[in-house]
Chain A
Amino acid sequence: MSTPARRRLMRDFKRLQEDPPTGVSGAPTDNNIMIWNAVIFGPHDTPFEDGTFKLTIEFTEEYPNKPPTVRFVSKVFHPNVYADGGICLDILQNRWSPTYDVSAILTSIQSLLSDPNPNSPANSTAAQLYKENRREYEKRVKACVEQSFID
């Protein structure tokens, strides 16, 4: 059955295909438009460069009035990414707006990779290294970039 959430997601998919943002891609899984797989390429001139980070996005029937659950499947060493891949990003929680679509969500996460917010850490080690030992932070990030090629 086609519900408003599913129809909106069809439109999101169409827009993503017609006007694809650079460095991100996503598509619904074969048999369920409510679950998407996505990839974010590490932004240039950041330690994440060249990484291919996979994510899953799960929507509910309340979309777009409620945000989807977005999670990294690839291991990501980042101040705002939890060990289980969960992402701490305001627009996916209290700053959500029903005008966002998949394209906006993925580009926001991509810019979070470039600009971490170490003041609301989901990974305290990453936040501390980002603030106090940038060289070690970049080394740990590069290791997860290498890891992203394999998984």
Chain B
Amino acid sequence: MADDPDNSVPAEPEKMFTLKRWNCVCFWNWDVECDVCAICRVQVMDSCLRCQADNKRDVMGRQDCVVVWGECNHSFHHCCMSLWVKQNNRCPLCQQEWSIQRMGK
């Protein structure tokens, strides 16, 4: 029996390939609704058209174009909205009286 070659420990199968390096790639996106500002038509998470043209930055070198949410839950660039409310203090999307719920990024 000991001579039976079939009963011996099977030989390691020949390696097809060796993994020498493995580069991981991750994709991510904001876990928020990425709305488009209905006034300038640029995503609210990016700078508005006006700030893009002026290439505005704050002291830290960050773009300081923030987002503003109304009580009606509609969001716009603060820059775009502050120009509009000067002539009509209503949400341009639902015509409700405009009042700021929060501001930020």
Interface segment, B3-11, B19-27, B33-41?
Answer: B33-41
Q: Report the separation of the CA atoms of residues A15 and B41 in the bound assembly, to the nearest whole angstrom.
A: 10
Contact residues of A: prevailing secondary structure: loop
Task: Write the chain A residue with the least CB distance to B74.
Answer: A99
Q: Report the separation of the CA atoms of residues A58 and B95 in the bound assembly, to the nearest whole angstrom.
A: 25
Q: Report the separation of the CA atoms of residues A8 and B40 in the bound assembly, to the nearest whole angstrom.
A: 6
Chain B's interface size range is: 10 to 19
Q: Is A65 a contact partner of B87 (Cβ separation < 8 A)?
A: yes
Q: Which of A1-56 contact B (CB under 8 A)?
A: 2-4, 7-8, 11-12, 15
B80 contacts which chain A residues (CB < 8 A)?
98
Q: Is A99 a contact partner of B92 (Cβ separation < 8 A)?
A: yes
Residue total for A at the interface (Cβ-Cβ under 8 A): 14
Q: Is A97 a contact partner of B92 (Cβ separation < 8 A)?
A: yes
**Quick check: is B83 within 8 A (CB to CB) of the other chain?**
yes
Q: Report the separation of the CA atoms of residues A7 and B39 in the bound assembly, to the nearest whole angstrom.
A: 12
Task: Write the chain B residue with the least CB distance to A97.
Answer: B92
Q: Is B50 a contact partner of A11 (Cβ separation < 8 A)?
A: no
Q: Which of B53-104 contact A (CB under 8 A)?
A: 53, 80, 83-84, 87, 92-93, 95
Q: Is A98 a contact partner of B53 (Cβ separation < 8 A)?
A: no
Q: Report the separation of the CA atoms of residues A87 and B41 in the bound assembly, to the nearest whole angstrom.
A: 26
- Least CB distance from A84 to B in Å reads 27
Which of the residues B38, B49, B84 comes within 8 Å of A65, measured between beta carbons? Answer: B84
A101 contacts which chain B residues (CB < 8 A)?
41
B87 contacts which chain A residues (CB < 8 A)?
65
Q: A98-B39, A98-B80 are in contact. List 14 more A-B contacts (CB 8 A).
A: A2-B53, A4-B49, A4-B50, A7-B40, A7-B49, A8-B40, A8-B41, A64-B39, A64-B40, A97-B95, A98-B84, A98-B92, A99-B93, A101-B41
